[in-house]
Structure 1
Amino acid sequence: MSGGTVASLPEGLLDEGVWFRVEESGTASAVRRAAERLAADLDMPRNRVADLAIVAAEAAGNLVKHADRGVVLVRAVRNDDQAGVELIAVDSGPGMSDVHRALGDGHSTAGTLGIGLGAILRQASRWDLHSVPGKGTVLAVQVWPAGLPEQLWAAGLTRPLPGETTSGDGYAIREIDGRRQMLLSDGLGHGGLAAAASHEAIRAFRKAPAVPPAQVVEILHRALGHTRGAALAVAEPDPSAGVIRYAGLGNISGTVLAADGSRRGMVSMPGIAGHQRRQVREYDYPLGPGGVVLMHTDGVVDRWTAADYPGLLTHTPEVIAATVLRDAGTRRDDAGVLVARFP
């Protein structure tokens, strides 16, 4: 994960965001400046840009003071009416045994004033935090221009291979004619050509008609013929029917996590979208109340269990995705995680 400017990025890359490795105060200042530039690009009002600056400075500053291998993602978040800025701070530090106590002003674990988290929560439009002693902490914070949009039912994160500036993994979610659908794509290889394949998959996904997942995958397969190709999968959660419909090509992993922590894998067919495939097949899996749908690329391994993260599955999709990316993401490939949660 590396730093970078955001002021000149087009909308698609603004939404993917920029990762910063935060190890010293200078990098923490860079996070604040990047957040301010992004807010200005999104035409956020000055008072909310000032609030965001406080949030960014405190979130990054906390990583410098308390964290191990801390990183921050700065990215745009959008709904139909407005755009805001989200920061996701992730560390592998000592974690917190009493999160509620840590949220109160005056509590400190490093001899400081202990006002950082309190300041963040006062300025944020929405926040979520999960911490496990010995594993670390994930904090997701959003600052919106006005009001508080509804929490999205799904969210994802991608991270490029070290040394690359863009990830070949990509994701998208949509609601169309009563269908909720989510796409995760892993462009073949890495770098710009892999990213181009995933961007084409996302473009075609957003334009596709309201058809079942297997038909969407067929549409994406045809759309990617001029690209390097990609592994990809489309899931359609239907909580009212108690099922999730799933179709995939290649090595995208899909899992349904029940509220009790049990898990069930979902099946993708062999192939590369855009180049080679067998018949695309769609499967239905049970999806009960409190269920979580988790999809990831092969840059993430299945070496984690929900039981090791008490309470994680009750948190927002952003926090779940960031936790899995931190602890199960490899350093030898692009990595992408997409999560949907249904209370």
Structure 2
Amino acid sequence: MEEWVTGRHISFNLDDRSYLAILKREVHRLSIQCGLTEKKVAEIDIVVAEIGSNIIKHAGGGEVLVMLTDNPQPAIEIIAIDSGPGITDLARMMQDGISTSRTLGHGLGAVKRLSDFLQVYSVKGWGTILLARFFIKPAEQYPPKPGPEIRTLLVPKPGEKVCGDAFYVHADRAGIRIFLGDGLGHGVEANKAAAAAVNSFRYCMLSDLGEVLRQMHDDVKRTRGLVGTIAVYSNKAQTWKICGVGNIHTRMLTASTSRTHLPYNGIIGHNIPRTINEQEVVHEAGKEQVLILCSDGIKTRWDMMKYPAIFRYDMSVLAAAIYKDNARKTDDMSVVIVKVK
């Protein structure tokens, strides 16, 4: 059994070199807090400096997201995002010892060597996403497991210290249970509403998703309310059941199809429809299926055709790509992705 409760990314804008020092200081502090060795901390310092330098010099600025994660194993996760020209010869630049002029001289090859996990996704004229993870415990303690790939990205509204979006994910032999909620507005009160909904969902024993939402509605009435969507996957039946109230954007993707789930109108905790029915989506065995949920801090008209071959990458890269092109920056922003085969 595995479960994940809301963990958020910290955003660092790198529009100016002066911001790089802040990023380096905060990641260094986090590395020490995680109990990493001096050698590992120094290696992470090198990686962060190289990533930040590349973003500023070659893309004219960008954004770095940092999170302490347990998924797929305990690690410091760094996602660097830019809208620069892209990397022309990525394979060559990933070789150790190769570096363009005016960088620190370590290059992406050294970044790859010093990271426990690294993927770089780059499209000419669109930009680049770099995903790096630094494991807190030896990788041998966390052998790869078959099953779904679950990735999350939550970023508070700029200037807020807490996020008004929240999620809960539970995966076991029976299947997957997911909830994504968005508290009305943003800030502390929105956070309280979303957290109350997560707590309600986490311990609810009801099976019908409409009834689960009704129970949640009763449990959060003393908060300002929220919108939210539940998705449950059954390994035995190989089906998804989806049910939501309010504007959580939910999309199901396969290699050849894209289907958007339409939620009910309303606000959980204030007013919900009298009749709430779950929708069922069949998963064809052997075919990849990707479920994506986004709060309304993410624009809904994103086009997967902009991201060639992105399903070959870790789903955190896809989450970052959606965030890069569609984050409103006027509200809390969240993307939850589940890939099943």
Normalised to the residue count of structure 2, the TM-score between the two structures is 0.87
Partner SS for 1:277: coil
User: Given the alignment of the two structures, is residue 125 of structure 1 paired with residue 116 of structure 2, yes or no?
Assistant: yes
Q: In the alignment, what sits opposite 1:138?
A: 129
Asked if structure 2 preserves the Cα contact closer than 8 Å seen for 1:105 and 1:114, the reply is no
User: Given the alignment of the two structures, is residue 64 of structure 1 paired with residue 56 of structure 2, yes or no?
Assistant: yes
| Residues 110 and 211 of structure 1: CA distance in aligned 2, closer, same or farther (over 3 Å) | farther
Q: In the alignment, what sits opposite 1:191?
A: 187
User: What amino acid does structure 1 have at the position aligned with 2:132?
Assistant: V
Q: Distance in 1 between matches of 2:101 and 2:207?
A: 54
1:102 to 81, 93, 96: 93
User: Given the alignment of the two structures, is residue 268 of structure 1 paired with residue 260 of structure 2, yes or no?
Assistant: no
Q: In the alignment, what sits opposite 1:171?
A: 167
Q: Distance in 2 between matches of 1:16 and 1:264?
A: 27
2:272 to 252, 264, 277: 277
Q: Greater relative contact order (Cα 8 A, min sep 6): structure 1 or 2?
A: 2
Q: CA deviation at 1:270?
A: 1.4
Q: Distance in 2 between matches of 1:67 and 1:180?
A: 39
Q: In the alignment, what sits opposite 1:147?
A: 138
| Residues 190 and 166 of structure 1: CA distance in aligned 2, closer, same or farther (over 3 Å) | same
Unaligned 5+ runs, structure 2 = none
User: Given the alignment of the two structures, is residue 29 of structure 1 paired with residue 21 of structure 2, yes or no?
Assistant: yes
Partner SS for 1:72: strand
Point out the more displaced range, 224-233 or 139-148.
Answer: 139-148
| Residues 110 and 330 of structure 1: CA distance in aligned 2, closer, same or farther (over 3 Å) | farther
Partner SS for 2:269: coil
Point out the more displaced range, 70-79 or 209-218.
Answer: 209-218
Asked if structure 1 preserves the Cα contact closer than 8 Å seen for 2:9 and 2:153, the reply is no
Asked if structure 1 preserves the Cα contact closer than 8 Å seen for 2:116 and 2:134, the reply is yes
Q: Distance in 2 between matches of 1:114 and 1:108?
A: 6
Q: Distance in 1 between matches of 2:60 and 2:192?
A: 33
Asked if structure 2 preserves the Cα contact closer than 8 Å seen for 1:267 and 1:283, the reply is no
What do residues 96-137 of structure 1 show as CA deviations (whole Å, max 9, x unaligned)? 243322212344455547633112211222222211111111
Q: Distance in 2 between matches of 1:327 and 1:68?
A: 17
Q: CA deviation at 1:213?
A: 3.9
Q: In the alignment, what sits opposite 2:294?
A: 296
Partner SS for 2:224: coil
Asked if structure 1 preserves the Cα contact closer than 8 Å seen for 2:156 and 2:331, the reply is yes
Q: Distance in 2 between matches of 1:127 and 1:216?
A: 39
What do residues 44-63 of structure 1 show as CA deviations (whole Å, max 9, x unaligned)? 34333333222222222221
Q: CA deviation at 1:153?
A: 1.6
- Superposed CA RMSD in Å reads 2.6
User: Given the alignment of the two structures, is residue 203 of structure 1 paired with residue 199 of structure 2, yes or no?
Assistant: yes
Q: In the alignment, what sits opposite 1:248?
A: 244
Partner SS for 1:272: coil
User: Given the alignment of the two structures, is residue 73 of structure 1 paired with residue 73 of structure 2, yes or no?
Assistant: no
User: Given the alignment of the two structures, is residue 38 of structure 1 paired with residue 36 of structure 2, yes or no?
Assistant: no
Q: Distance in 1 between matches of 2:338 and 2:291?
A: 5
Partner SS for 2:56: helix
| Residues 45 and 181 of structure 1: CA distance in aligned 2, closer, same or farther (over 3 Å) | farther
What do residues 3-54 of structure 1 show as CA deviations (whole Å, max 9, x unaligned)? xxxxxxxxx88x3131100133332222222112222323334333333222
Q: Distance in 1 between matches of 2:248 and 2:195?
A: 16
Percent identity between matched residues is: 30
Q: Distance in 1 between matches of 2:152 and 2:337?
A: 6
Q: CA deviation at 1:285?
A: 1.5
Unaligned 5+ runs, structure 1 = 1-11
| Residues 109 and 191 of structure 1: CA distance in aligned 2, closer, same or farther (over 3 Å) | same
